[in-house]
Amino acid sequence: MSINQNIRKLTPSECEKLQGFPPGYTQIPYRNKKVKDCPDSPRYKAIGNSMAVPVIKWIGERMINYLNK
């Protein structure tokens, strides 16, 4: 993301929204740390390993429509 020609990384919450998850969805207890102390790295990894919820929903609906014909 570019602001005044400076580049910044998307936050985990912004990435969650782009994937169709509610903000804070990946913020969970991590290695005996409290939820509020969850580091960003495992959150980015979880988001990166996920699938975009709206896209999967769209595909699933199309499959159901096809099978119901």
pLDDT tens sequence across 11-69: 999 999 999 999 999 998 888 888 888 899 999 999 999 999 999 999 999 999 999 98
Q: Give the pLDDT score at 20.
A: 95
Full DSSP string of 21-58: PPTTTT---BTTB-GGG--HHHHHHHHHTS--HHHHHH
Q: Give the pLDDT score at 60.
A: 97
Domain boundaries defined on the chain: 11-67
Q: Give the pLDDT score at 2.
A: 65
